[in-house]
Every structure is written in C-alpha cells, then in structure tokens.
Amino acid sequence: MDIERVDRIIDKHRGEARALIQILLEIQSDNRWLPKEALTRVSERLQVPMTRVQHIATFYKAFSTVPKGRHEVHVCMGTACHVRGAQRVLDKVQDATGIQPGETDSDLRFSLEIVNCLGCCALGPVMEIDGKTHGRMSPAATVEALNDYE
C-alpha cells in the first residue's frame, strides 16, 4: 500500500473526519481493498479512533479488509436464478477458480461472492463479472465467460 497515495486522498478532503467514508471508498477504489496500514494512517491523520475506522471498514459491504481479485464475480442465488440452475453455475465457478464464496484465488485474479438478487430475474441464472451481467448462464457458458477475464 502506497502511504503517500493515502495521504494525497486524505489531503484532497482536507483531513476532515466527516469525509471518512469517502476517503475509505477512494482508497479501496485504488487498491481493491483496505490494508491495515491504510486504516492506521487514516486514523492517525483524521484523528479518529482506530476502532471507529475499523468499525466503518467492516460494517459496510462495499469495503473489504482482505485482498480482492482483479475481477469480482457475483453469482445470483435468488429464487428465479436458483430454480433455473444457479447452483450449477456457482459450482462451475468454484471448479474453474478453486475458490469458495467469500474467497479470492491465490494469484488475485478472481474474488467470488454470492448475492440474493442482481435485479434481472428474467435472465436467470445470472452471473456478474466486474459489473457486467451475463444472463441465461449454463456451466459451459460460465467457463467461457471466466476465460474472457485475465
């Protein structure tokens, strides 16, 4: 983690504690996760207790305190997707990447999450990679979609 980059983000917000969430969002955007060193630096510079910074970083689902892959894969397990074979899609993602939901592969290529709904039920089963929706997925199409992301 580049502490100088963290300092620039903090300075951009004039070191104001009320900008804590925005600062954390920008750090995560740069780094894909929030390393402990960055959280410590934010706590020191904003003069906000580390417990508060840690609470914010772990409370909101938008934040991650563990390394994330370059590509975030979300598999919808909502009712419409589930009845159309979402479990087979999830199984294929797990087989292809070697990771379980909530994990990141060792080369930091993929992170996998399951979600309850992606809002496109008519396209089920649905998988999203880096915000791009892949609908009507089959196990074979799942592997093809993953192979498009290096």
Q: How far apart are CA 28 and CA 17, in angstroms?
A: 17
Q: In this predicted structure, what is the pLDDT of residue 50?
A: 98
How high does pLDDT run on average in the chain?
95
Query: Given 3-state DSSP classes, what are the helix, strand and coil percentages for the chain, each rounded to the nearest 5?
Result: 50, 15, 35
Helix (H) or strand (E) holding 89: helix 86-97
Domain boundaries, the chain: 3-59, 71-147
pLDDT in tens, 46-66: 999 999 999 999 999 889 999
Torsions phi, psi of 16, nearest 5?
-85, 130
Q: In this predicted structure, what is the pLDDT of residue 62?
A: 85
1: pLDDT confidence band, cut at 50, 70 and 90? confident
pLDDT (mean) for 10-37: 95
Q: How much is the pTM? A: 0.79
Q: In this predicted structure, what is the pLDDT of residue 142?
A: 97
Q: Is CATH 3.40.30.10 what the domain over 71-147 is classified as, yes or no?
A: yes
C-alpha pair distances (Å), 144 with each of 65, 86, 99, 104: 30, 16, 17, 19
Annotate 45-76 with DSSP letters as a single string.
HHT--HHHHHHHHHHSTT--SS---SEEEEEE
pLDDT in tens, 83-106: 999 999 999 999 999 999 999 999
